[in-house]
């Protein structure tokens, strides 16, 4: 018979039984479910709601179940619907009457909410570690390439020179925000709904602070209706993971461009590329493309749950059982993407000569040429127009700015002197950009330092 079978006189239809069950996906919360029940039982014993002997028997029984689940000795069943009722049934089968006292002053509604918070809290720690690994790989490449000049782009048109380190460190900054965003999310998640009961709390003299403390939460949630209805923490995590995937996807897109023959800024390691079944010459960036592709799936997980939640009256509704599959899918997808992405970035070979050659074309030093005139006293807007005329002059003759003779340059402005050639060199254009956050070596070194500190802080935090 069902745990809730008392008021029923018929068996559940077998299709309904399977339709209703969530055990095939919520079984992954077995540890959290048992941990939550242990804390609840201990609190019930401490508050004199059940005897200390019963509380002890429950704890022992649950520990045995945990060990058996981990040893693969237990088969959960859809007849017990979800992880909560599977564990409770197993417990009662093992220890008898004491097991039947566990659910005193508790509902599956607060139970599932606490389990999911415990579970996602743990996943956040794991994902954070993986992001830190990726930032480390980015930093290792950046350290090697602080003087490697590459074109910086806007509109995918060559704009101003940067270093490869500077470009990579922009991704480092994005990933650093992902780390702190997940930490914020974890902090708001770390509130305990246990003791909210079905929706309206309980008449038993429970101690919600004790269970919150035992489970490592910062406090019990303040409103019992909210405690069982709130899924903001799931949505926030899905939001944070969607933003993280968006970052990986943009990075992936650049990797795909960079390893094309049109760019050839990098060469992927053979271990991180794939071949074609028909074209013998091909070496494809499948890893980057798949990360870009999986981003859509994580966005879908977020949109799905937002839509599920939007019309639900307070408090618990069965619709909310639909929270787990998307968030588990998003968590698993992210955990699968991050390590391969990290391996790809760590092992890619950078081709500085090609980056430099690309940076040398496209009038990437035009702003610097205007700045040169400005520093000699010409108003910037006039200098801008003068250099625009020079670029026009050059394109007609197939020349670059630095290939013009001093006479040609002076034809536009008498302010040009011999020192202009030095000012137009790629080294100067990149290396003199020492403004805070810029590409100059001193500045990329500072950014590397900053991210190294963040890794330190969050690895041990």
Is 318 among the residues that bind ligand ARG (CB under 6 A)? yes
User: How many residues of this chain bind ligand ARG (CB under 6 A)?
Assistant: 10
Contact of 350 with 147, CB cutoff 8 Å: no
Is 276 one of the annotated active-site residues of the chain?
A: yes
Using left for φ > 0, alpha for ψ between -120 and 50, and beta otherwise, residue 400 falls in beta
Q: Identify which range of 104-112, 179-187, 346-354, 437-445 contacts ligand ARG by CB under 6 A.
A: 104-112
Token pair of 119, please? Answer: 């579970």
Is 320 among the residues that bind ligand ARG (CB under 6 A)? yes
Output b/e per residue, 155-168; b: 16+ Cβ within 10 A: eeebbbbbbbbbbb
Minimum separation from the CB atom of position 362 to ligand ARG (A)? 57
Q: Select 36 or 172, whichever has its Cβ closest to ligand ARG.
A: 36
Q: Beta partners for 158?
A: 153
Q: Contacting ligand ARG (CB under 6 A), which of 42, 101, 108, 167? A: 108
Q: Select 318 or 397, whichever has its Cβ closest to ligand ARG.
A: 318
Alpha-carbon dihedral sign for residues 127, 128, 133, 139: positive
Angle formed at CA 235 by CA 234 and CA 238, multiple of 5 degrees: 90
CA distance 271 to 257: 19
Site residues (CB under 6 A) for ligand ARG, limited to 3-22: 22
CA distance 130 to 337: 10
CB-count burial class (<10 Å; 0-12, 13-18, 19+) for 414: exposed
Nearest to 354 by CA among 259, 270, 430: 259
Minimum separation from the CB atom of position 255 to ligand ARG (A)? 39
Binding mask 263-302 for ligand ARG (x = CB under 6 A): ----------------------------------------
CB-count burial class (<10 Å; 0-12, 13-18, 19+) for 396: exposed
CA distance 258 to 355: 9
Q: Identify which range of 107-115, 125-133, 203-211, 244-252 contacts ligand ARG by CB under 6 A.
A: 107-115
Binding mask 206-245 for ligand ARG (x = CB under 6 A): ----------------------------------------
Q: Identify which range of 49-57, 266-274, 318-326, 355-363 contacts ligand ARG by CB under 6 A.
A: 318-326
Binding mask 297-316 for ligand ARG (x = CB under 6 A): -------------------x
Is 155 one of the annotated active-site residues of the chain?
A: yes
Is 109 among the residues that bind ligand ARG (CB under 6 A)? yes
Q: Select 174 or 321, whichever has its Cβ closest to ligand ARG.
A: 321
CA distance 118 to 318: 20
Q: Select 136 or 329, whichever has its Cβ closest to ligand ARG.
A: 329
Q: Identify the DSSP state of 321.
A: G
DSSP annotation string for 73-133: -----GGG-SHHHHHHHHHHHHHTHHHHTTTTT--HHHHHHHHHHHHHHHHHHHHHHHHHH
Token pair of 369, please? Answer: 């040429």
Q: Identify which range of 108-116, 159-167, 184-192, 452-460 contacts ligand ARG by CB under 6 A.
A: 108-116
Q: Which of 14, 51, 260, 276 is catalytic?
A: 276
CA distance 194 to 177: 31
Is 112 among the residues that bind ligand ARG (CB under 6 A)? yes
Minimum separation from the CB atom of position 16 to ligand ARG (A)? 13
Binding mask 67-86 for ligand ARG (x = CB under 6 A): ---------------x----
Minimum separation from the CB atom of position 79 to ligand ARG (A)? 14
Q: Select 42 or 84, whichever has its Cβ closest to ligand ARG.
A: 84
Minimum separation from the CB atom of position 353 to ligand ARG (A)? 57
Minimum separation from the CB atom of position 304 to ligand ARG (A)? 15
CA distance 448 to 346: 16
Q: Which of 155, 222, 277, 460 is catalytic?
A: 155
Catalytically active residues, by annotation = 155, 276
Q: Which residues bind ligand ARG (CB under 6 A)?
A: 22, 26, 82, 108-109, 112, 316, 318, 320-321
């Amino acid at each position: 018979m069902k745990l809730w079978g008392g008021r029923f006189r018929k068996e559940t239809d077998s299709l309904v039984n399977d339709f209703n069950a969530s055990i095939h996906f919520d079984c992954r919360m077995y540890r959290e479910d048992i941990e939550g029940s242990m804390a609840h039982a201990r609190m019930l014993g401490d508050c004199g709601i059940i005897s200390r002997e019963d509380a002890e028997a429950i704890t022992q029984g649950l520990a045995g179940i945990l060990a058996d689940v981990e040893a693969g000795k237990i088969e959960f069943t859809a007849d017990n619907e979800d992880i909560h009722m599977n564990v409770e049934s197993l417990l009662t089968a093992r220890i008898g009457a004491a097991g039947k006292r566990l659910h005193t002053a508790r509902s599956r509604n607060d139970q599932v909410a606490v389990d999911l918070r415990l579970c996602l809290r743990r996943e956040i720690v794991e994902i954070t570690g993986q992001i830190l690994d990726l930032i480390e790989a980015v930093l290792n490449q950046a350290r090697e390439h602080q003087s490697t000049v590459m074109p910086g782009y806007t509109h995918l048109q060559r704009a101003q020179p940067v270093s490869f380190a500077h470009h990579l460190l922009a991704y480092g900054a994005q990933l650093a925000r992902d780390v702190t965003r997940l930490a914020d999310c974890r902090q708001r998640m770390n509130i305990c709904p246990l003791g909210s009961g079905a929706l309206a709390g309980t008449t038993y003299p429970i101690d919600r602070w004790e269970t919150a403390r035992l489970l490592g939460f910062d406090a019990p949630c303040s409103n019992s209706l909210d405690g069982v209805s709130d899924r903001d923490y799931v949505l926030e995590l899905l939001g944070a993971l969607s933003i993280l995937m968006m970052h990986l996807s943009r990075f992936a897109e650049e990797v795909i461009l960079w390893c094309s023959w049109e760019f050839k800024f990098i060469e992927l390691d053979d271990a991180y590329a794939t071949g074609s079944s028909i074209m013998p010459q091909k070496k494809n960036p499948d890893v980057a493309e798949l990360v870009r592709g999986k981003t859509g799936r994580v966005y879908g997980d977020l949109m799905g749950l937002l839509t599920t939640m939007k019309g639900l009256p307070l408090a618990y509704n069965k619709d909310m059982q639909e929270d787990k599959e998307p968030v588990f899918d998003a968590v698993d997808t992210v955990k699968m993407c991050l390590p391969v992405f990290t391996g790809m970035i760590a092992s890619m070979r950078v081709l500085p000569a090609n980056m430099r050659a690309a940076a040398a074309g496209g009038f990437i030093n035009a702003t610097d040429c205007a700045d040169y005139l400005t520093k000699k006293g010409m108003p910037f807007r006039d200098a801008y127009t003068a250099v625009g005329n020079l670029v026009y002059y050059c394109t007609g003759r197939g020349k670059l700015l630095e290939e013009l003779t001093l006479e040609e340059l002076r034809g536009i402005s008498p302010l040009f002197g011999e020192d202009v050639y030095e000012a137009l060199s790629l080294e100067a254009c990149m290396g003199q950009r020492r403004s805070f956050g810029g590409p100059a070596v001193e500045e990329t070194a500072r950014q590397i330092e900053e991210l190294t500190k963040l890794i330190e802080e969050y690895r041990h935090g």
